[in-house]
A = this chain, B = another copy of it.
Amino acid sequence: MANQNNNKKTLDAVTPKSEDISRWYTDVVLKAKMADYSPVKGCMVIRPYGYALWENIQQILDKEFKRLGHVNAYFPLFIPESFLLKEAEHVEGFAPEVAWVTKGGNDDLEEKLAIRPTSEAIIGHMYSKWVESYRDLPIKINQWANVVRWEKVTRPFLRTTEFLWQEGHTAHRTHEEAKEEVMQMLQVYRDFVENDLAIPLVTGEKSQKEKFAGALNTYTIEALMPDGQALQSGTSHDLGQNFSKAFDINFLDSDGQRKFAWTTSWGISTRIIGAVIMAHGDDKGLRLPPRVAPTQAVVIPIVYKDSTAVNDKAKELTTRLSKIGIRVQLDDREGFKPGWKYSEYEMMGVPLRVEIGQKDLDKGQVCLVRRDTSEKMFIADSEFEATVEKLMQEIQETLFKQAKEILENKTLRASSFEEFVSIIKEKRCMADLVWCGSAECENKFKAEAGATIRCFNENAVDGNCVCCNNPGKHRVFVARSY
């Protein structure tokens, strides 16, 4: 079978990341065959290599959701307009970006149907059918699904009209329990993104302006990209009783009183793949964290004339890695020079390359090349498995460390409004500052610097608002964002 990631090969150099990160990003997405443009405006095709990364992400998260007592289900793609209208803030937030079905077969529909931009409305309705007594609570359901938001400007993974995500929806007896769920899922996201995707985060509460439409409070994980722009990577919402009142999710409590349930929702999407690409990639292409990389190591035999011994050895090394649970691929295709293959797997961000030639065979050694540092090393055959396992760990850590340096170096304290503007517009960083809590000042962040409050910083408020000089209420991270 043909190498399915290798159709129409064109390995021209990508635009350097430092020169134009936006063009670099698009180049890498296409050349690494993560995604492709589709004929539908704003919709992408997630190609097999990109989808394999998504499958690894799904596997890790799904297991963790289930460990914490959630179960999966599936709710309809369509939401009748009247349902979307039931929660006032919710519809106001989402209506401008809804795709509407108005015809079924040859008939015009009596009521138009929204393609779900998110599923609180339809799930809220179902929960009201399923919940009767406090004994029916909590309900903790997750759904893996596609959603559609009619976006004007789109970019593969980062912002697309249709995207894939998971949305958790829970209903609880008390607000306290719901809040615990919200914070627990925020922590699940944080652990996953930092440990598995090697992307360091700032996390915390959103401002009221930036919260989810219909929520009481939204909590977010925010990654900082190398260009100083923040990327919202997952959110967890305390919906209070807003949706349970709108959809009548009430229950008979043990005290004989009818009460409204407290609900939450939380989601992470294929957007996170955009964060992985942008946070770790370099001028040679992707650099994927070993824990989620579809291929963790590639074995390339370097053959000249009589190739049997080298090819056999390459096969043996592949089998040995496979046996210790490494996702390994052998590339023994003929007609492609080793150097060409090296570039290809560098573009695809495969964490480790294993080279084996006649000289290595004679010396009883194997050549390893790390994708993260480009370091090349020769190791004894007997140390092969142990070294590869160690390197997987080290590469994961290095990627995190490098990204952590960016986050730290590009998060700067601002003690005045001028300093804030300079941090955003000239230094192209994220500002950490004190804010009074007023909408006026929040709007000025946007108006003067195109920046928004990404989330609250839990550190102590240590001064007055950088904008109006009134007493400070929150320390906040402010940045431009994707």
Task: Show the binding face of A for B, using Cβ within 8 Å.
Answer: 1-2, 4, 6-8, 36, 38-40, 43-48, 50-52, 54-55, 69, 71-80, 83, 95-106, 112-113, 115, 122, 125-126, 129-132, 135-141, 145-146, 148, 150, 161-162, 164
Identify 13 new A-B residue pairs, CB closer than 8 A, beyond the known A6-B136, A52-B72: A4-B71, A7-B131, A39-B122, A45-B74, A55-B72, A78-B162, A98-B104, A98-B105, A99-B113, A103-B112, A104-B150, A115-B115, A146-B146
- Residues of B near A40 (CB, < 8 A) are 76, 78-80, 113, 122
Evaluate contact between A51 and B76: CB separation under 8 angstroms.
no
Q: Chain B contacts of A83 at CB under 8 A?
A: 39
- Of B4, B102, B130, which contacts A7 at CB under 8 A? B130
Q: Which residues of B contact A100 (CB under 8 A)?
A: 101-104
**Copies of this protein in the complex:** 2
Which residues of chain B have C-beta atoms less than 8 A from A76's C-beta?
A: 38, 40, 43-45, 162
What would be 16 A-B contacts, judged by CB atoms less than 8 Å apart? A4-B71, A7-B130, A8-B131, A38-B76, A39-B125, A40-B78, A40-B113, A43-B78, A45-B74, A45-B126, A54-B74, A74-B164, A77-B115, A99-B104, A100-B101, A103-B112
A115-B101 contact given A76-B43, A77-B148, CB 8 Å threshold: yes
B75 and A52 contacting across the interface, CB-CB below 8 Å:
no
Contact, CB under 8 Å: A73 / B51: yes
Contact A103 B113 (CB under 8 A): no
Residue pair B98, A101 in contact (C-beta under 8 Å)? no
The chain B residue with its CB closest to the CB of A113 is B40
B75 with A38: CB separation less than 8 A: yes
**Cα A15 to Cα B14 with chains together (Å):** 66
Q: Tell me, in angstroms, the Cα distance from A7 to B73 when the chains sit together.
A: 15
Contacts of A104 in B (CB 8 A): 98-100, 150, 161
A71 to B122, CA, bound (A): 32
Interface contact A7-B45, CB-CB below 8 Å: no
Contacts of A139 in B (CB 8 A): 2, 4, 7
Which B residues lie within 8 Å of A38 (CB)? 75-76, 122, 125-126
Contact flag A136-B7 (CB < 8 Å), given A40-B76, A74-B51:
yes
**In the complex where A100-B103, A105-B150, A115-B101 touch, is A48 in contact with B77 (Cβ < 8 A)?**
no
Q: Which residues of B contact A7 (CB under 8 A)?
A: 130-132, 136, 139
Give the residue of B73, B77, B96, B132 whose beta carbon is less than 8 angstroms from that of A162.
Answer: B77
Residues from chain B with Cβ under 8 Å of A102 in the complex: 100-103
Is B73 within 8 A of A48, CB to CB? yes
Contacts of A73 in B (CB 8 A): 45-48, 50-51
Candidate in A47, A125, A140, A145 with the most chain B CB atoms within 10 angstroms: A47
Q: A112 CA to B103 CA in the complex, in Å?
A: 10
Check if B78 sits within 8 Å of A130, measured CB to CB.
Answer: no
Min distance, Cβ A21 to any Cβ of chain B, angstroms: 25
Which chain B residues border A140 with CB–CB below 8 Å?
A: 1, 4
Q: A30 to B112: give the CA distance in the assembly, Å.
A: 27
Distance (whole angstroms) from the CB of A53 to the closest CB of chain B? 11
Please indicate the chain B residues that have their CB under 8 angstroms from the CB of A36 in the complex. 126, 129-130
- The docked-state distance in angstroms from the alpha carbon of A47 to that of B135 is 18
Across the interface, A51 reaches (CB within 8 A) one of B52, B72, B103, namely B72
Q: What are the residues of chain B within 8 A of A115 when measuring CB–CB? A: 77, 101, 115
* A80 contact set on B, CB distance < 8 A: 39-40
Q: Give A43's nearest chain B residue, CB to CB.
A: B76
A62 to chain B: closest CB distance in Å?
9
**What is the minimal beta-carbon distance from A394 to any residue of chain B, in angstroms?**
29
Distance (Å) between the CB of A406 and the closest chain B CB? Answer: 30
Distance, CA A69 to CA B4, complexed state (A):
9
Residues of B within 8 A of A164 (CB): 74
For the complex, give the distance between the alpha carbons of A46 and B78 in Å: 14
Query: Which residues of the partner chain B approach A129 to less than 8 Å between Cβ atoms?
Result: 8, 36
Residue of B nearest to A6 (CB): B136
